[in-house]
Structure 1
Amino acid sequence: MGRAFEYRRAAKEARWGKMSRIFPKLGKAITVAAKEGGPDPDMNPKLRLAIATAKAQNMPKNNIDAAIKRASGKDAADIKTIHYDGRGPHGTMLIIECATDNNTRTVANIKSILGKNGGEFLPTGSLSYMFEHRAVFEVKMPENADLEEIELELIDYGMSGAEVNEAQEDDEEDTLIIYGEYDSFGELNEGIEKLGLEAVSGSLKYIATNKLEFSDEQLEDVEKLIDKLEEDDDVQNIYTNIA
């Protein structure tokens, strides 16, 4: 999503009850990462970053530990990460990332939400040519940082681009968004750690190759759809072509 739209979404999330909306999704992301790569954060970069993301949202340590423990339980055995394609209002395109143990249930829910909110469920893979699957990290900007030097160092670890994300609030800090190829996730994470940069978050994301501008009125319609999708327990992330 575009920077302005992401900020609006973040402001709205701050008004939601984190315990009821945000923490369960963060917990599921931790469980999936631990299930895929093992429960030891030192040996599992995806888990390490899922934990960092949860901590950035002030998720309590006992919740994080419980989410890791669930990865070895029978309830987590069938949880898989699945992506669905959809079309939203006004020509918006959506890739909807879910973590589910029941694909039939999740598909039915996503189709229903899209249909009731001006959207349409698309065949899987329909939007593959419109999005790139990229490794994306957000790190805190060190004091007196030499951005050129950081970028030169990280190119050797698979970085393909970077941009400064300026703080939107006085009590926030600027961060650096680092991009890499899908298969460079582990290597790029290693480079970030070797440089001593503090990661705020890191994950594999779908980024639109051709982002579009929408009016505030159009974005309100899109936000209504996204709100409904995010209310579903299986939905983890939503990627759009919004500039």
Structure 2
Amino acid sequence: MGRAYQNKKLSIAKTSDAKAKVYSKYGREIYVCAKSGGVEPDGNLALRTLIDKAKKDQVPSHVIDKALEKAKGSGGEDYSTARYEGYGPGSSMVIVECLTDNPNRTFGDVRLCFTKTKCKIGTPGSVGHMFDHSAIFVFSGDDEDTVLEALIMADVDVTDIECEDDMTTVFAPHTEYNKAKQALIDTLGNDKGEFEFEVDEIQFIPQNTHPVTGDDAIMFETFLDMLTDLDDVQNVYHNADLN
């Protein structure tokens, strides 16, 4: 079906300032994940996944270790999640996910990105109903029957499975993430319980894409740059087709 999911791997930028922002975002997310679910990756599947992603994106070990050590303490920042929705350039739809220790500041910063690019921030749910909140797993191989059987046996509510160019993509509701991932590892992993995912994410997938061209496309790129420059912004999802 060719669903328009976004491979959100954070590319390491050339400038040291941009690298620092990437490291900071990972460090914050690792800290929050470890604080809420435990600092041992073996007992916290979400944390293990996050650390693996950080390593793939060349985040230094000392950044990861510092976040874990910080999570072991009784103090530290009190971060909360925040999600903002609205309309971007060219009538595109946008969802912005944040981790913040100051929701008022974060809302003001995100709203400024919208207003400076002549966009409109909306109320919760204003565009979210046009996205599917999905767990996505992409890995090598094309044995759809084996994958489907493993997920059904694990009582996973599979949304879709696609096989193309010797790659398999599994879509499931975001609430099924841990169960689906464990089923895939148990079935396809090696004797050490390890398995390599090309994509291992929970994302908002647009139900339909929307073409954004010309000056709107240029403005959209500016809009995305402004959002991703904010320390509190972790992920940005949209339905814009810039091709």
Please state which band the TM-score falls in when normalised by the shorter chain: 0.7 to 0.9
Which residue of structure 1 aligns with residue 192 of structure 2? Answer: none
Superposition map of 1:12-31 within 5 A: 14-15=13-14, 17=16, 19-31=19-31
* Cα 1:124–1:118 shift into 2, 3 Å: same
- Counterpart position of 1:169: none
Q: How far did 1:19 drift? A: 2.4
| Aligned counterparts, 1:61-140, within 5 A | 61-73=61-73, 74-76=75-77, 78-139=78-139
Q: CA deviation at 1:147?
A: 4.0
Taking structure 1 as reference, are residues 49 and 175 closer, same or farther at Cα in structure 2, changes over 3 Å only?
A: farther
CA shift, 1:14, in A, is 4.5
Judge which range, 104-113 or 128-137, deviates more: 128-137
Seen in structure 2, the aligned counterparts of structure 1 residues 99 and 229 have a Cα distance that, compared at 3 Å, is same
Alignment check: 8 A CA contact 1:50 1:202 kept: no
User: Which residue matches 2:51?
Assistant: 51
Q: How many residues align?
A: 229
Which is higher, the Rg of structure 1 or of structure 2? 2
The question of whether the paired residues in 2 share the 8 Å contact of 1:212 and 1:242 is answered with yes
1:191 to 183, 187, 203: 183
C-alpha distance in structure 2 between counterparts of 1:237 and 1:206, whole Å: 10
**How many angstroms apart in 2 are the aligned matches of 1:217 and 1:227?**
16
Q: Deviating runs (4+, > 4 A) in structure 1? A: 9-18
**Residue segments in structure 1 that go unaligned for 5+ positions in a row:** 167-173
| TM-score for both structures, normalised by structure 1 | 0.82
2:128 partner SS = coil
Q: Which position in structure 1 is the counterpart of 2:232?
A: 234
Question: Following the alignment from structure 1 to structure 2, what is the Cα–Cα distance between the partners of residues 124 and 193?
Answer: 35
Runs of 5+ in structure 2 lacking a partner? 190-194
Query: 1:226/1:35 Cα in 2 relative to 1: closer, same or farther (>3 Å)?
Result: same
TM-score, scaled relative to structure 2: 0.82
Q: Secondary structure at the match of 1:198?
A: coil
The superposition leaves residues 140-194 of structure 1 with CA deviations (integer Å, 9 ceiling, x where unpaired) of: x15xx5344234323444232234586xxxxxxx754321112101101111221
